[in-house]
Amino acid sequence: MSKWFNTAGPCKADIHYMLPPLARLPNLERLITQQGYFVLHAPRQTGKTTAMLALAQQLTASGQYTAIMLSVEVGAPYPDDVNAAEQAILGEWQRAASFMLPLDLRPPQWQEAAPGSRIVTALSQWAQTSPRPLVVFIDEIDALQNQTLLAFLRQLRSGYPSRPQGFPQSLALIGVRDVRDYKVASGGSRRLNTASPFNIKVKSLTLRNFTQGEIQSLYEQHTAETGQILTPVVVQRVFELTQGQPWLVNALAKEIVEEIVPDPNHTISLEQVEQAKEILIQRQDTHIDSLASILREDRVRAVIEPMLAGQQLGAVPSDDVQFLIDLGLCRLNPQGGLMAANPIYQEVLPRVLSQTPQASLPQIAPSWLTADGTLDPEQLLHAFLRFWRQHGQPLLKSAPYHEIAPHLVLMAFLHRVVNGGGTLEREYAIGSDRMDLCLRYGEVTLGMELKVWREGRPDPIKAGLEQIDRYLAGLGLATGWLVIFDQRLGLPPIAERTTTESAETASGRSITVIRG
């Protein structure tokens, strides 16, 4: 039977290319022996469910434990109806146990209990009747919210002292968030305290991304199965683009070998990796779309907006920064500062945020193309100036992030330019005070530096020219744009204040300065 790269749900060894599921997990058997309750958190689609399913099967097969992975996702529709949530969850647990466990290890029929005590009663009953110590891994804990989450966690806390005879010997809560964020989801304070029902854990653990060597091993399975070669250079590029994020690693390979190069007699090239990357970004599959959907949350916006603008974070709580790291949207730069988790997400974040301005754009004739379809940078400049003077002011209101509204409108315009014929790449980082854009269309490459002139700050042209000089040097270009968005108070309308001028960098590069 042929195997495939998996991008939906847990991996199955008989049909999916996969790495050993427990290889990236820390050794959990000591925690289980010590009757520990713990949290396993990692971004979505990183292999948590696959790994914990394998661990539960391994523990049960050892003959020492009754171990099972259970989900509480069916309780999600009832955030404030504890009764309905508990009934749905316990029904799902009975179904899962009947499928996963031998008859003598399955739970008895649940006893009747009052709402708010059904979970503790059921787990207590199961632990007492099981011929082996009970170990339970509870998946999708993030799905529960408000009173339902609070009631669920309080019941785990209540039963905890009775382990192992009267409650699971060991229990794990598995999801995207660490335990510190459960109180947010339960409608409570943004900070936990020691008297809360959330301090039942002895450890919070996470699941790391793939290493480059692990990507190589995964892709070699496809080569062994089909003969199609994904060279070390291809593997290296995939690692650079994904930073080992498992879903992206699989999604790129799946797009390449099933859609772009389905003939296994053809070796995969770097060009096809880049093509697959663009397809994933533009298509915004479920995984990428789910990441994008949280960008409008206040605590997410408080971090992402200054990061895109190149500003300092200021007084953003450290828990909010860690929350974005836990979600897999961001990572800490080894050289300091916060950055997008990988180059693909670096493209996804601003692209998603510019969708509303892009949908609001008027019809724009492609006057920037020559008769043979080549991009003319001079005509592109004139087209942008006309567009910005006429439509910039109203379009700024359509952008979801106020601080970077001009950036998002410009990017929306440029996406219209490259649609179907080029690419737009971005670079940005906390504290850099800029965003760099690289537009590629056929043989033409255009580098741009975006700066904002804020109230009480000096004219950013001097710093901007120094930064665009370095950026263009990295691209190997002699010319580029420096775009300065003036956001000071009391200015004339955009149509009146938008101007252009020529400038030269210290190294002699010719720069078109656009002020608007």
234: CB partners within 8 A, 6+ apart:
219, 268, 269, 270, 273
Instruction: Render 346-389 in DSSP notation, one character per residue.
Output: HHHHHHHHTHHHHHHPPP---TTB-TTS-B-HHHHHHHHHHHHH
The angle subtended at Cα 97 by Cα 92 and Cα 102, nearest 5°, is 165
| Judgement on whether residues 39 and 160 belong to the same structural domain of the protein | yes
Print the domain residue range for 236. Answer: 212-283
Six-digit token string for 81? 């109806």
Of residues 86, 90, 97, 179, the one with CA closest to residue 135: 97
Which of 233, 262, 283 is the endpoint of a domain?
283
pLDDT for the residue 439: 95
Query: 161-170 as b/e, with b when 16 or more CB fall inside 10 Å?
Result: eebbeebbbb
Of residues 277, 276, 270, the one with CA closest to residue 232: 270
Query: 357-373 as b/e, with b when 16 or more CB fall inside 10 Å?
Result: bbeebeeeeeebbeeee
Segment 435-462 shows an average pLDDT of 92
| Judgement on whether residues 152 and 187 belong to the same structural domain of the protein | yes
pLDDT for the residue 386: 93
- Residue 296 is assigned to a structural domain of this protein: no
Six-digit token string for 488? 């000071």
| Mean pLDDT, all residues of the chain | 89
pLDDT for the residue 388: 92
Question: 0.75 cut: is pTM over it?
Answer: yes
349: CB partners within 8 A, 6+ apart:
292, 295, 304, 308, 329, 340
- Residue 156 is assigned to a structural domain of this protein: yes
| Judgement on whether residues 358 and 271 belong to the same structural domain of the protein | no
pLDDT for the residue 192: 37
Could you tell me how far CA 440 lies from the centroid of its own chain? 26
| Judgement on whether residues 357 and 500 belong to the same structural domain of the protein | yes
Q: How confident is the model at residue 349 (pLDDT cuts 50, 70, 90)?
A: confident
pLDDT tens digit string along 201-258?
778 888 999 999 999 999 999 999 999 999 999 999 999 999 999 999 999 999 999 9
| Judgement on whether residues 197 and 216 belong to the same structural domain of the protein | no
Q: How confident is the model at residue 383 (pLDDT cuts 50, 70, 90)?
A: very high
Given a cut of 90, whether residue 190 has pLDDT beyond it is no
pLDDT for the residue 198: 53
Provide the domain count of the chain: 3
| Judgement on whether residues 61 and 90 belong to the same structural domain of the protein | yes
Q: How confident is the model at residue 65 (pLDDT cuts 50, 70, 90)?
A: very high
pLDDT for the residue 139: 95
Which residue type sits at 490?
Answer: G
| Judgement on whether residues 368 and 505 belong to the same structural domain of the protein | yes
Q: How confident is the model at residue 64 (pLDDT cuts 50, 70, 90)?
A: very high
Percent of all residues in the chain with a pLDDT value above 70, rounded to a whole number: 94
Given a cut of 90, whether residue 155 has pLDDT beyond it is yes
Edge-to-edge strands of the sheet including 66-71? 66-71, 134-139, 170-175, 37-41, 203-206
pLDDT for the residue 217: 97
| Judgement on whether residues 278 and 353 belong to the same structural domain of the protein | no
- Residue 131 is assigned to a structural domain of this protein: yes
| Judgement on whether residues 216 and 202 belong to the same structural domain of the protein | no
Report d(CA 498, CA 516) in Å as an integer: 4
- Residue 322 is assigned to a structural domain of this protein: no
Report d(CA 366, CA 64) in Å as an integer: 70
- Residue 51 is assigned to a structural domain of this protein: yes
- Residue 45 is assigned to a structural domain of this protein: yes
| Judgement on whether residues 119 and 177 belong to the same structural domain of the protein | yes
pLDDT tens digit string along 271-319?
999 999 988 988 877 566 666 667 878 888 888 888 888 888 878 888 8
Which of 249, 283, 317 is the endpoint of a domain?
283
Which of 159, 185, 206 is the endpoint of a domain?
206
451: CB partners within 8 A, 6+ apart:
433, 434, 460, 461, 463, 464, 467, 482, 483, 484, 485
Given a cut of 80, whether residue 369 has pLDDT beyond it is yes
Segment 36-64 shows an average pLDDT of 93
Residue predicted with more confidence, 392 or 285: 392
Choice among 101-110, 122-131, 282-291 with the minimum mean pLDDT? 282-291
Q: Kindly tell me the burial class for residue 156, based on how many C-beta atoms sit within 10 Å of its own C-beta (0-12, 13-18, 19 or more).
A: buried
Choice among 105-109, 124-128, 400-404 with the minimum mean pLDDT? 400-404
pLDDT for the residue 165: 96
Report d(CA 303, CA 330) in Å as an integer: 10
| Judgement on whether residues 73 and 94 belong to the same structural domain of the protein | yes
Report d(CA 253, CA 276) in Å as an integer: 8
Choice among 28-42, 285-299, 462-476 with the minimum mean pLDDT? 285-299
Choice among 273-277, 361-365, 459-463 with the minimum mean pLDDT? 361-365
| Judgement on whether residues 195 and 264 belong to the same structural domain of the protein | no
Choice among 78-92, 121-135, 295-309 with the minimum mean pLDDT? 295-309
Could you tell me how far CA 111 lies from the centroid of its own chain? 41
Report d(CA 299, CA 322) in Å as an integer: 11
**Residue 404 phi/psi, 5° resolution?**
-120, 25
pLDDT for the residue 291: 63
- Residue 354 is assigned to a structural domain of this protein: yes
- Residue 305 is assigned to a structural domain of this protein: no
